Amino acid sequence: MRVVAIVGMAGSGKSEVAKEFEDAGFKRIRFGDITEKEVNRRGWPLNEANERKVREELRREHGMAAYAIMNLPEIDAGLAHGNVVADGLYSWEEYSLMKERYGNDFMVVAVCASPKTRYARLAQRAHRKLTPEEAAQRDKSEIENVNKGGPIAMASHYVINETSIDALKLETRRIIARIKHEQQQTP
């Protein structure tokens, strides 16, 4: 069984790529659910500022691999039944923990889009909308404080998402087919 982590900056299309994996039979685990549940538990409005507070607090409390650590039981349970897609791995430490734990059965798919493209998408979102200024601030925080660049640099596969949702889905399906083919070739 494989664990495929989806990485990328906000607005790159990670959730759309993860949905394609889910539609292909992978158990989907969204790392960001931990943040949203904690924001809601505290009775705070769901917005970028509150989400950032929770993310940073959880990482201070549990270390930079916090989200991977907190999701390991769900990932392991999913692997008992098939392949897993981890939607939203962030830090180098999360990547390192997952790579150490799952070895060659762990791979990363990076979803990439320019800041201009991502910021336009984020401004149009129905849920968790960000202004271009908020998006730029989030980029800065994730690069400087969360070590997000490392997992993107170490990806096994890349999806460039600068055009249409149909093109994104098509390229993702090609990657899924390659992953499944590689999986069949591995004894």
Give 158-174 pLDDT, tens digit per residue: 999 999 999 999 999 99
- On whether residue 26 sits in a domain, the answer given is yes
pLDDT for position 49: 86
Is-contact 60 87, C-beta < 8 A?
A: no
Over residues 66-115, the pLDDT tens digits come to: 999 999 999 999 999 999 999 989 899 999 999 999 999 999 999 999 99
Which pLDDT band holds residue 146 (cuts at 50, 70, 90)?
confident
User: How many domains would you assign to the chain?
Assistant: 1
What percent of the chain shows pLDDT beyond 90? 84
In a domain, 84, yes or no: yes
- Mean pLDDT, rounded, of the chain: 94
The pLDDT of residue 187 is 65
Q: Return phi, psi of residue 159, to 5°.
A: -120, 120
User: How many angstroms separate the CA atoms of 162 and 118, rounded?
Assistant: 9
> Which CATH number characterizes residue 162's domain?
3.40.50.300
Domain that holds residue 81: 3-180
Q: Do the domain assignments include residue 186?
A: no
Instruction: Tell me which residue has tokens 């270390």.
Output: 63
**For residue 159, is it within any domain?**
yes
Residue 187 maps to a domain: no
Dist CA 88 CA 106 (whole Å): 14
